[in-house]
Structure 1
Amino acid sequence: MKHIDFYLDFISPYAHLAFEHLPEALEGLSVSVAYKPVLLGALLKHHGQLGPAEIPSKRSWTYRHVLWLGHAHGLPIEMPASHPYNPLPHLRLAVATSDDGSISRLAAETIFRHVWRGGEEAGDATRLAALTAQLQPKRDVNGDENKALLKRNTDEAVAQGVFGVPCYVVDGRLFWGFDGLALLRAYLQGDAWFDGPQWTGADQRPSLLRSSKS
């Protein structure tokens, strides 16, 4: 049986869509999945990237794109009243429901739908308190032990080369994005393409970086 580490941050609409679509993407396959919350902002900072919502034109495209993807795939999704928002409370709550930083599918589903259905403020204090009561965390959400678990997940993701969410790691191979689910399924089905030069050699070439000076 193959094992998948699914790295996610609830701030990402693509992670929400991928999470909802995952059962269909893995239908008929024998796999186990560990759902691991990570702080997307820390991944972006490590790799020197801006988030999609930090680039105005990309922000506009991203929101339209994810709403279209939901429509096209029959996946319910609504933009929260404000976005981006601070996802730390949701991430810490998620991790606090777990023993080791890997959360249940039910906990992930509950939080994703809290953020991405209904069009309300994701970070509203009253809603967050109700969500916390519903999930019944096992430890202090803002305690040092819990913060360390979230950091460990994020550090682990960085060590494996994860640069964004959603990301799925299996057999040391990294698959990224909602559209990456199709590649993931093909790999799990044993497609020989993944042992050929188009996968193994795609990045084995020099990079001709452009200089900022003319």
Structure 2
Amino acid sequence: MAGKSNGKTVDFYFGLSSRYSYLAHTQLDGIAERTGATFVWKPLFTPDLMNKQGQNPFASEPPSGAYDVEYRLRDVARWARHYGIPYVEIDGRLEGDRHQFSLAAVAGAALGKAEAMSKAIFAAMFQSERRSLTDMELVEIAVALGLDAAAYSEALTSPQTEALHQSHIESGIAAGVFGAPTFVCDGHLWFGNDRLVLLEEWLANKD
């Protein structure tokens, strides 16, 4: 049963190549249904956000064990089992420009399909054994969602799409966002897939 609408809008800042963003996005429909909150999907390329801030923990040796690659891979697999969702590791399998994957989601946002396009790209990346995700394949995904092939192809390389991408980064930084996934509502910030339980508790108790 859907929760009573609390009128809350949550900005969801996420990266398409972020494993924890993938995990988190699978839970948002349930949280929205239970709390009545609305999520606004704001895709971005996480390294661009971190580099703009001058705080990229992946640019050199991990600053702590929490950023160790092997630890994170085990952690993500455990979360996927906990959620009961498919998870196929992308490293060593999926070829392509991950910056472009993020821009592909932003292009969907520019055409009014931020959530649908992002979900479809996440599925293509983390729920299949595909080896590539080319621009042509991204256009095919967009068409399957009802978007016009020519309009989407143009949006993939449009300056307006990059401008929207930069606006997500700028608004995120202004809100205090430093990584992905991050959720922002009424000046409050929750960082990480593991903070979803705290976000839902907060939303459920707001009138």
- Which residue is 1:185 aligned to? 200
Distance 1:35 1:167 in 2: 11
1:158-183 deviation line (CA, Å, top 9, x unaligned): 11110111111000111111111111
Does residue 145 of structure 2 align to residue 130 of structure 1?
no
Distance 2:60 2:28 in 1: 24
1:32-83 deviation line (CA, Å, top 9, x unaligned): 1110011210222214231399639711111111011101220111102438
The alignment's TM-score, normalised by the length of structure 1, stands at 0.78
> Considering only CA atoms, is the larger Rg found in Structure 1 or Structure 2?
1
Residue identity opposite 2:49 in structure 1: L
- Which residue is 2:116 aligned to? 106
TM-superposed CA distance for 1:140, in Å, is 2.9
Structure 2 portions without partners, runs of 5+: 1-6
Q: Alignment partner for residue 157 of structure 2, among 142, 147, 153?
A: 142
SS of the aligned residue for 1:66 comes to helix
Structure with the higher helix share, 1 or 2 = 2
Distance 1:17 1:9 in 2: 11
Does residue 26 of structure 2 align to residue 20 of structure 1?
yes
- When structure 1 is superposed on structure 2, of 26-35 and 107-116 the one drifting more is 26-35
> Percent identity between the aligned chains?
22
- Which residue is 2:14 aligned to? 8
- Which residue is 1:62 aligned to? 72
Does residue 80 of structure 2 align to residue 89 of structure 1?
no
TM-superposed CA distance for 1:131, in Å, is 2.3
Distance 2:127 2:38 in 1: 27
Give me the CA root mean square deviation. Answer: 2.7
TM-superposed CA distance for 1:111, in Å, is 0.5
Distance 2:169 2:130 in 1: 27
> Number of aligned pairs?
188
Structure 1 portions without partners, runs of 5+: 192-214
Distance 2:59 2:84 in 1: 24
TM-superposed CA distance for 1:129, in Å, is 1.4
